[in-house]
Amino acid sequence: MSDSQIVGSTFDDGLRAPHYLDRRLLSAGDLKADQQTMLARLALLGQAVGAGVVAGLAVEPIGSDTIRVQPGLGFNSRGNPVRLPRLTTLSLRPQPASSAPLNDAGRFHECTASVGSGPGGVPVQGAYLLTAAPVSRLEGSAPVKAAAGSTTTPACAAQWEVEGLQFQAIRLSGFSKETGITTTNRRNRLAHWCFGSADLPRLQRDPFSFGANFGGLAQLGSALTPCDLPLAVFFWNGSALEFVDMWAARRANGQSSALTSLGGSLSQSRETTGQARLLQFQEQLAALQAQNLPAPVSAASHFPLLPAAGFLPMRFSANTLAPWVAVLVQELVAEMAQQANLPIVGIPISAIVLQLAGPITNLTVQLTLTANQSGLFPEQFFGKIPLRYMLADHDQIDAALQRSLRRQALVVAGVPAVEIWLAEADLLRMIGPSLIQAVTQVTVASPAAPFVGQFVALTQQKLRQQSATRRDQLLDEATPTSQGLVGLFLNPEGTPTPLQGRD
């Protein structure tokens, strides 16, 4: 007897496809039904892949009233592919009515987009969501055979159903109700309104009713249809673009959650939103740095809400850099003395550290600060927020970054302190040449003098090893120039050893 048995079956609302066999009469309706069934099956596969952007579809402003969309591929929540084969420019100025796509082919009849104010309309001042939806239209001409016995002239019909995309700007009227918006913080506040940063604290209070869909875009209701794929948000000041922010709306594609409860805690959308939150900050920060603003960029003015962790291109003052250098010098000297096995009897490692560390640190700081530095002073960026500096390895930084994707946003006005983690290998890369130069210039009294050559050799060896085995590509991409250094800021959760008191 089999261990399994059939307990039922159902064909309710099943997909229907024509059954083909010899000598069966087929009509255009039969062939179209077959196509629609295949499209429906492909859409189910698209839903399994998950809604979002697969590749490309980057959005950027061109001039004051034009948006450019790069070629790419994504899937809407229906599972339909959203494919843009060529670079496309979109003008926010009045367009002739004939430029509107004709969705008359029926292939994407369920995705007939509403035109809002219609072609020729001009956006009113406010924030908008840019979306793309699949549409189709008929093109070409094909002859149609007259029916048997008909005396009328044979007609023609459209030859092709051509797939395309229709772009739509949906006004984010909910954002206009937000308070405390300024010209400097508007982009940041709009992005976090989309992310739902203000909603996440509710997850801790009631995780069972907090769903996977949250944030400003979830408030759009029927204005944002399952056919639409969000690409970016932009702010129109009434006559020109103020900014275009891609990551506020763009999400990597991911599988829809099958969870029936605790969706807000366990769904993959939390992680994709965290990724977008981090990338939005990095992109906006890079754009601000490129503008060479007269006043320093600060969290209080430009970023009242920050990702739970992010990379900050850093500049150093002497007071900030000296403790980092002192710790690194002490560790190098201790390792050098250990390798040398202390041939001078009775001289403890601590004595060598004390004799070498002080003067080497001071000169290294001077030499490093004379080089061109790019980035931001952390104390200026974070203002009055207390900072704790940490040395960490790349694994610790990577783990902290991954954990941060599901954490709440960092509210600058209420955070008690911020930690800044710096990779030891990156610090050595930045100060290494100055460190070697400082060691060779410092006159060290006996008995430490014989170890200066070994110290230089050890530092050079570490620099070579670090260059050959570097794997922190994310840090490299976030660093504007080779002279810069990137630190990871985050809410305190302290797994690395604090800078102070490190042995």
Q: pLDDT, tens digit, for every residue of 417-431?
A: 999 988 878 888 888
91 falls in which pLDDT band (50, 70, 90)? very high
- Average pLDDT, stretch 217-236? 92
Of 72 and 272, the structure prediction assigns the larger pLDDT to 72
Count of CA atoms in the C-beta half-sphere (13 A) of 402: 6
Over residues 115-140, the pLDDT tens digits come to: 454 445 667 899 999 999 999 888 88
271 falls in which pLDDT band (50, 70, 90)? confident
Residues 6+ apart with CB under 8 A from 75: 46, 47, 49, 50, 51, 52, 54, 81, 82, 229, 253
DSSP state for residue 218 in the 8-state scheme: G
Separation of alpha carbons 293 and 295, rounded Å: 6
Residues 6+ apart with CB under 8 A from 312: 285, 375, 376, 378, 381, 420, 486, 487, 488, 489
Over residues 434-491, the pLDDT tens digits come to: 877 777 776 555 455 666 677 777 777 777 776 555 444 444 444 433 345 788 888 7
pLDDT at 480: 38
Q: What percent of the chain has pLDDT over 90?
A: 28
pTM assigned to the model: 0.81
Of 251 and 349, the structure prediction assigns the larger pLDDT to 251
The per-residue pLDDT of the chain, averaged, comes to: 79
pLDDT at 476: 46
Separation of alpha carbons 485 and 179, rounded Å: 36
pLDDT at 256: 62
Per-residue tokens: 41 = 């099956």
The SS3 assignment for 222 reads helix
Strand positions, DSSP E, 258-308: 305-306
Lowest mean pLDDT among 39-43, 167-171, 204-208: 204-208
- Average pLDDT, stretch 400-420? 89
pLDDT at 319: 80
- Average pLDDT, stretch 305-320? 88
